[in-house]
Amino acid sequence: MNSGWTPFSYLVVNLARQIRAGEIAFSGVNSTLPMLACLLAKRAYDFHFTYVNVAGGVEPVPQKIPHSSSDPAIVAGGPAIFANEDFYDLCARGGLDLVFLGCAQVDGEGRTNVSVIGDWHNPKVRLPGGGGAAVMMPTARRVATWRTEHSPRTLVERLDFVTASGNLTTLVTPIAVFQREPARGSRLALESWNPQVTIDDLVKRTGFKFDAGAAQPTAPITARERKALASLDPLGEFAAEVHA
C-alpha cells in the first residue's frame, strides 16, 4: 500500500507530532532527525512551543539547516543561548516537557543502551556513552527516542547494558510509533504503524513483545507537514541518509 510515507518523512513527522502546545522541547547530541522535527513543527503547526537544543539555541531561526545537531548554525536567530549546564539544570527541575534522546538499543520497558554492544568487559562495540541520558531520562516529563533501523538487534527484549531508564514515552521507527505510560509501569505498546507494512511484519522485526490491540494505521502526512519537510530538505540530502 502506497501511503506517501518515506522512511525519512515517517520518522521526522511522527517525532514532530509528539510535541504539544505550550511545551518546552529539547533535542540532544547526534539528534538530527529530532532537530528537523522541532523545526518542522514550528513551520507546520499553529500552536506555540519553545525549542531548545544541545548546541545552546533557544528558539533558533537558522538560515541554513546544519547536518549536525550540535552545529553553531542551529543557534542562529534565537533570543538567548543556553550553556550546557543550563538545560541539564532546567531538566532536573522539571522544566523540560519533551526531550529527544537517541539510543543504540531500546527494550520493551523503555530503557535504552548507548554504552556497549556485547559484554561490558569485552564488548563487540564500545559506544559513545550516556552523556546526559541517565540524568535527563528520569527527570524530563516525557522522553522520545527513535531508531532508523527497525530490527530485533535494535528493538530488543534484553539490553546489553542499561544506560538510562525513566520517563521514556515514545519510540518512533520508519515503520511504527510505540507509546508507554511510565507512571503505570507499562511496556511500549504499538500506537500506529506505517500502512506500507503489516502487523505481522512488525512482530517479526521487533525483538520485544508488544500489545497492538489499540493500534491504528498512522494518519497520512498532511500538506503542511510535507511542505515544511521539503523546505527543510529541499535537495533531499537528509532523506538520502535514512533507510528503512
Q: What is the pTM of this model?
A: 0.94
Residue pLDDT, tens place only, 205-225:
999 999 999 999 999 999 999
Geometric angle at alpha carbon 85, from 79 and 88, rounded to 5°: 95
Residue pLDDT, tens place only, 27-70:
988 889 999 999 999 999 999 999 999 888 899 898 888 888 77
Q: In what order do the strands lie in the sheet with 155-156?
A: 112-113, 105-107, 155-156
Of 79-88, 192-201, 219-228, give the lowest mean pLDDT range.
Answer: 79-88
**Residues 40 and 228 sit within 8 Å (Cβ to Cβ):** yes
For the domain covering 7-235, report its CATH number.
3.40.1080.10
Please report, for the chain, the start and end positions of each structural domain, with discontinuous segments joined by +.
Answer: 7-235
- More confident of the two residues 115 and 77: 115
CA–CA gap between residue 199 and residue 215 (Å, rounded):
10
The string of DSSP letters for 46-83 reads SS--EEEETTSEES---SS--SSTT-GGGGTT-SEE--
Q: What is the pLDDT of residue 2?
A: 52
What is the mean predicted confidence (pLDDT) over 165-186? 93
